[in-house]
Amino acid sequence: MSKKKLKDHLINRDWCKGCGICVAMCPKDVLVLDGDEKAMASHPEKCIACRQCEKMCPDLAIEVITEDAHGKEE
């Protein structure tokens, strides 16, 4: 199985309530809360696609899109 690579963080700003759980739980400090108190990926290049933010988001507002080595979206 090839390693998954981040393609994008889809963050639903309408659903995000800005609790900061994703920011605190990200092991690589990828996410921050922006000026509107909404989650934002400020350092996507550091993302290891562990999906911790996606699974821990109480607002179901984050989706981590990955692709495999051949660029196929997952």
Please report, as ranges, the residues that interact with other proteins according to CB under 8 A: 12, 14-21, 24-25, 52, 54-61, 63-64
Smallest distance, other proteins to C-beta of residue 37, A: 9
Closer residue to other proteins, CB minimum distance, 24 or 42: 24
Closer residue to other proteins, CB minimum distance, 63 or 67: 63
Q: What is the Cα–Cα distance from 64 to 49, expressed in whole angstroms?
A: 7
Smallest distance, other proteins to C-beta of residue 5, A: 16
Q: What is the Cα–Cα distance from 4 to 40, expressed in whole angstroms?
A: 21
Angle at 74 between CA 15 and CA 12, to 5 degrees: 10
Q: What is the Cα–Cα distance from 64 to 6, expressed in whole angstroms?
A: 7
Closer residue to other proteins, CB minimum distance, 24 or 43: 24
